[in-house]
Structure 1
Amino acid sequence: MGWKAAEKLIRHWKILRGDNVMITRDIDKGETGIIKRVIRSQNYVIVKKHIKQGKGHEGGIFTVEAPLHASNVQVLDPVIGYPCKVGVKYLEDGTKVRVSRGIGELGSIVPRPKILKIRTISRPTICKYLTSLCFFLV
């Protein structure tokens, strides 16, 4: 990646894996889906959405994954169900939460997706490395 492309990378991501989003541009404008993956090196998100019956396929709900630029999706407000901007706010007890900004300025809390707590790839434990380092140091 060149330095010009690196300048245009999003630095502060407000969209997380597992968020419920609405597509704001392209052919699929107005459809909702769930973020399956975030590719930060290219500013892309992969949205998992449902499509209905059409000319090329029979009836039923099919799941399609589509890569979109991060600027073409917006997080849905959990209270009113419309797309909104996401900001950060600190509660009185000091916890950091995401809040909705935009329509009506309700400031409702946008919860972090539960899927973020589930890891797809296990991280190596530090104990293995520490024991091997201690063995060489002794």
Structure 2
Amino acid sequence: MTRRLSPAERLASAEKDLLLEDIADQSSWDRFLVEQAVYHFGTRHSEFSANDLRDVLPELAHGFLGAAINSLRTAGVIEHTGRVVPSTLASTHGHRLGVWRLSVKGLVIAEQRRARGQQPQAAA
């Protein structure tokens, strides 16, 4: 009897060269989680690239990384620094990657989140 693959195993074995639109259409929940991870990383580091993020994200998230960065850029939450770095992923043969930082909008969102987290909780 053939063993059925789990959803995680199916995603891991999926073709890696999907278009960004195809990746985004597959699971908005997964992309949302990766967007949150990219944003959180940006609140902790002044600049970052996909190289930095691949080191801290699980393998399954790598397929959503480009779509997440593009989504945050389009929303004005992160901005390109004008710098590029070579990819450290061997299969990309040193492809150039953008270096990103939180935009003013992204920094405002981070400050609002911090302020909400510091408010005393109401007694139940």
Range of TM-score over shorter length: under 0.3
Give the TM-score of the pair, scaled to structure 2: 0.27
Q: Higher strand proportion, which one?
A: 1
Which structure has more relative contact order (CA 8 Å, sep 6+)? It is 2
Question: Which structure has the bigger radius of gyration?
Answer: 1
